């Protein structure tokens, strides 16, 4: 329309004057609208600056934060973490007579089976980035805790949600033994409780933290994948990261570590 008025203005000075006035108003409104949009995006911590996607390396943090039970190697733009999947803490799943065995808590019944060694390997990107298509987490390992134990989502065999009965099989670490070995589902005394602890990394390479941010507050701007971009104790310039849920799951005093989809593109996990 602006071009139309401009064309008419060639033949009509009056229309030209109106056109110049309207153009000034239109441009002013455009600038005002752009300013509002820009401010809105910058004030929302869940917005990802596309220019920084994939620019933050997790390599040094992975190398320094995982326990010595996890063997770490790098190749090109990937990191491989290997462990035997056994925890470094007490659990009734060690079995009676083992040094790290403790009796089940009152009202809890452990699953059949005991902790045993497995050959686990997780490969993640050195510079994780947002995936164009967000893939749903599935049954099995979705990440690895800092002690080499697999992290699972909020589902159990048959792809059903963890229920009250399953919760009674968990040890103090928020874990139990299943067909594929010992693994964490929820927060626990040895990973994270009410804190900002680094729990581990998921298969897409992004770190997962406890319920709190670095400043001790509970984040209120988490996206649909349970994460946001901000500084952490391990990434002072900021990185996208997950938080375990801040919802008291089934009023049982535990918090799901991760549900829903990955934010990035998952790497491999073999067992």
Q: Which DSSP string do the residues of the chain spell out, in sequence order?
A: -HHHHHHHHTT-HHHHHHHHHHHHHHHHHHHHHHHHHHHHHHT-TT---GGGTT----HHHHHHHS-TTSEEEEETTEEEEEE----SS-BGGG-TTSTTB-PPPTT--PPSS------EEEEEESS--B-SSPPBP-SS-SEEETTSPEE--SEETTTEE--HHHHTT--TTSEEEETTEEEE-B-BTTTBSSS--EEEEETTS-EEE-SS-TTSSPPS---TTSEEEE--SS-TT-EEEEE---S-GGGSS--BS--SB-SB----EE-
SS3 190: coil
* pLDDT computed for residue 54 by the predictor: 83
pLDDT digits (tens, 9 = 90+) for 169-228: 999 999 999 999 999 999 999 999 999 999 999 999 999 999 999 999 999 999 999 999
pLDDT digits (tens, 9 = 90+) for 125-171: 999 999 999 999 999 999 999 999 999 999 998 899 999 999 999 99
Give dist(CA 257, CA 187) in Å, integer: 6
Instruction: Give the residues across from 120 on adjacent strands.
Output: 83
Mean pLDDT of the chain: 86
Contact yes or no for 58/128 (Cβ under 8 A): yes
Confidence of residue 44 (pLDDT cuts 50, 70, 90): very low
Give dist(CA 174, CA 166) in Å, integer: 11
């Amino acid at each position: 329309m602006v071009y139309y008025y401009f064309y008419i203005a060639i033949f009509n000075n009056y229309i030209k004057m109106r056109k110049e006035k309207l153009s000034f108003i239109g441009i002013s409104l455009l600038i005002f609208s752009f300013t509002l949009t820009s401010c809105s995006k910058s004030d929302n911590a869940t917005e990802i600056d596309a220019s920084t996607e994939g620019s933050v390396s997790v390599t040094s943090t992975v190398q320094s934060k995982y326990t010595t039970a996890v063997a770490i190697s790098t190749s090109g733009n990937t990191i491989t973490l290997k462990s035997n999947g056994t925890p470094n803490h007490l659990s009734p799943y060690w079995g009676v007579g083992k040094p790290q065995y403790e009796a089940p808590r009152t009202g809890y019944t452990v699953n059949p089976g005991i902790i045993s060694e497995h050959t686990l390997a997780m490969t993640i990107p050195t510079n994780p980035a947002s995936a164009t298509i967000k893939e749903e987490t599935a049954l099995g390992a979705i990440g690895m805790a800092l002690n080499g134990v697999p992290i699972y989502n909020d589902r159990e065999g048959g792809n059903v949600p963890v229920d009250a009965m399953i919760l009674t099989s968990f040890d103090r670490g928020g874990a139990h033994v299943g067909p594929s070995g010992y693994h964490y589902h929820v927060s626990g005394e040895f990973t994270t409780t009410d804190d900002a602890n680094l729990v581990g990394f998921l298969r897409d390479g992004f770190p997962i933290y406890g319920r709190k941010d670095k400043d001790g507050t509970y984040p209120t701007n988490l996206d649909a994948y349970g994460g946001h971009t901000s500084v952490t104790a391990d990434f002072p310039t900021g990185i996208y990261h997950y938080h375990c849920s801040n919802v008291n799951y089934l009023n049982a005093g535990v918090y799901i570590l991760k549900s829903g989809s990955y934010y990035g593109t998952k790497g491999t996990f073999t067992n």
